[in-house]
Amino acid sequence: MGRMQFDFSGRNAFVTGGGGGMGLQIARDLVTAGARATLFDLKPAPDDLPAGARYVQADLRDADAVARAMAACHDDAGRLDCLVNAAGVLLLGRDRSLVDMDLDVWDDVLAINLKGAAICARHAVPLMRRAGGGAMVHIATIQCVRGDDAPQDAYQASKAGLIAMSKSIAIQFAADGIRSNTILPGPTQTPMQQRWVDDPSLREATEGAVPLGRVGTTEDMANAVLFLLSDSASFITGTELIVDGGVLAKP
């Protein structure tokens, strides 16, 4: 699989969920493309942290911690150009139908997946305005635009909220040169899918349902995110990019 080539020289990015999976891959690719990056996650810093990147271990639900980290990110480069809301939780087994789940699970999932993203956007907008504009990408999922007979209702609702939030940001701040988009990944191999490692037959069954015959990779998702952050997408805002191997196109 080829990798897309971008130039982010002189740009500065704040990436949540940077402790692994999509967030780490996105941050790594941004740094490779010339950007500075601050990675924010509750997990300890990974061993393969991109060279020169800043890492902040803190809770996304802590608005003060987010504000401090984003201010430090801005001060490190004198600007903020990119925000990637990649942090998220999928509480398999606990996140079920809304008629069955513990409502504390609902609150926890929405606090991280949606409120955390809102806190980041809230602090990013003023800093992007100072830079004359910027770009945000929020990681949603194809599961938030369809039903599921094995529901994870809090996860799906939180990710649907990201789409609505992103559209609102795009319209509110278009005149400031700030763009906001989401990507909707399909089945993707990340640490959140440990069950595929534990039982490869589950991954094989998933691959059989994907028209392109495989699950996505973190590189696939990073390619989509970097495109939407880049100048190549300068006329794209308030929309969703589906990256799912054709799943949603199936009849």
Q: What is the DSSP string of 133-198?
A: -EEEEEE--GGGGS--SS--HHHHHHHHHHHHHHHHHHHHTGGGTEEEEEEEE-SB-SGGGHHHHH
Q: Is 55 considered catalytic here?
A: no
Which of 6, 155, 173, 196 is the catalytic position? 155
Choose among 219, 226, 221, 193: nearest CA to 207.
Answer: 193
Residue ranges of E strands in the chain: 12-16, 36-41, 54-57, 82-85, 134-139, 178-185, 240-243
Starting at the earlier edge strand, list the strands of the sheet with 178-185: 54-57, 36-41, 12-16, 82-85, 134-139, 178-185, 240-243
Q: Where in the sequence numbering do the catalytic residues fall?
A: 155
